[in-house]
Amino acid sequence: MIMTIVMIDNHNREINYLRISITDRCNLRCVYCMPKEGVSFIGHEDILSYEEMLRIVKVAVKTGIVKVRVTGGEPLVRRGVTDFLTSLTKVVGLRDISLTTNGILLEDYAEEIFNAGIRRINVSLDSLSADRYRDITRGGDINRVIRGIRKAHDTGFSPIKINVVAIKGFNDDEIIDLAKLTIEKPYQIRFIEFMPVGESTLENSLGYLSNDEVIKNINSFSPLEPVIPTRRDKADGPASLYTLNGAKGEIGFISAISHEFCNSCNRLRLTADGHLRACLLSDEPTTDLKTPLRDGCSNSELEILIRDLISRKPGSYQTGCQQIHRRKCATNMSSIGG
């Protein structure tokens, strides 16, 4: 029988979700995520091996982790990713393993990922226009992503969630078209507010757009009906879910900046260089797991380090819109994994 461990932190939150950035490399350069040039990547020797990541996951399960999301950088550019996913599905105690990808390589990998045992996938797609997609990703081919999403659908992934960073002056005139995708397709379109993390910038003509504005915009087309969250949805994360009348899919809003949801944050994040983070939007507190791991620490010592970080997880990150320029996080989103 598998014993379920429940870890409640000092702010009465159950910490059960680990996101792993398996690489900080990426085949795109989205303007809101990475600088155009001069990105300093983690040296190969400093990137955790899959074995090291698996060991951390197995110990994290002993501290209450039951869900893992594999992300990046772009996870599909790291060699051996599908074998790693297969190994994750064998970790006793994990109940849910998912993947976030930009979709560029998804058509090639969808079947392998599915055969590894993964069913839940998030794909990032910020525009339906090929030119805009190329501009925001600094060179990406939207057709590859669309083919990847179709392949994921045909292969049987469910749910398929499509992440959209809504940006004023870039894709705000496409919000209704993106929302309308849910009418015919069983996808969950998730509007994510731009977060001021690392070296990410919005170019001069582009700006932060709150999800209140996105919701207003969609409501002007057709009223959004709230989806009554099931227990599973509640455990699923911070998105508030809605649907359009008669639609096959759903629309989610992740409003980290305008409506802080720290009081329900259940996450830890492992960066590719082995740092465990307690908060997406703040570099503190963070614990280096790679050094003790490579110095030969025991699993019990690793477990103490993870529990200690959980005990220091902050109750709230003060990120009102007015504070959007007060960056507390110097690490790029591509290293943290979103």
Q: Which of 309, 330, 302, 329 is nearest to 48 (CA)?
A: 302
Query: Is residue 33 part of the contact set for ligand SF4 (CB under 6 A)?
Result: yes
| CB closer to ligand SAM, 97 vs 192 | 192
Query: Is residue 124 part of the contact set for ligand SAM (CB under 6 A)?
Result: yes
Residue 140 corresponds to which amino acid? G
Chosen from ligand SF4, ligand SAM, none, partner binding at 195 (C-beta under 5 to 8 Å by type): ligand SAM
Chosen from ligand SAM, ligand SF4, none, partner binding at 192 (C-beta under 5 to 8 Å by type): ligand SAM
Query: Is residue 34 part of the contact set for ligand SF4 (CB under 6 A)?
Result: yes
What CA–CA distances, in Å, run from 327 to 108, 198, 244, 333? 37, 8, 36, 13
Q: Which of 30, 68, 70, 164 contacts ligand SF4 by CB under 6 A? A: 30
Query: Is residue 11 part of the contact set for ligand SF4 (CB under 6 A)?
Result: no
Q: Which stretch binds ligand SAM (CB under 6 A): 66-74, 243-251, 267-275, 323-331?
A: 66-74
Query: Is residue 188 part of the contact set for ligand SAM (CB under 6 A)?
Result: no
Query: Is residue 32 part of the contact set for ligand SAM (CB under 6 A)?
Result: yes
Query: Is residue 64 part of the contact set for ligand SAM (CB under 6 A)?
Result: no
Query: Is residue 103 part of the contact set for ligand SF4 (CB under 6 A)?
Result: no
Q: Which of 51, 57, 59, 55 is nearest to 70 (CA)?
A: 57
- Ramachandran area for residue 291 (φ above 0: left; ψ -120 to 50: alpha; else beta): alpha
Looking at residue 185, the DSSP 8-state letter turns out to be: S
| H-state helical runs in the chain | 50-61, 81-89, 106-115, 130-136, 142-155, 175-184, 211-221, 231-236, 290-294, 299-311, 333-336
Binding mask 186-225 for ligand SF4 (x = CB under 6 A): ----------------------------------------
Q: Among all chains, which residue has been given the structure tokens 């620490």?
A: 297
Query: Is residue 102 part of the contact set for ligand SF4 (CB under 6 A)?
Result: yes
**Nearest approach, Cβ of residue 100 and ligand SAM (Å):** 4
Residue 310 and residue 330: Cα distance in Å, rounded? Answer: 21
Largest CA distance in the chain: 59
Chosen from ligand SF4, ligand SAM, none, partner binding at 200 (C-beta under 5 to 8 Å by type): ligand SAM
What CA–CA distances, in Å, run from 225 to 118, 140, 153, 262, 327? 30, 34, 25, 25, 35
> What residues line the site for ligand SF4 (CB under 6 A)?
26, 28-30, 33-34, 72-74, 102, 124, 333-334
> What residues line the site for ligand SAM (CB under 6 A)?
26, 32-33, 71-72, 74, 100-102, 124, 163, 165, 192, 194-195, 197, 200, 333-334, 337-338
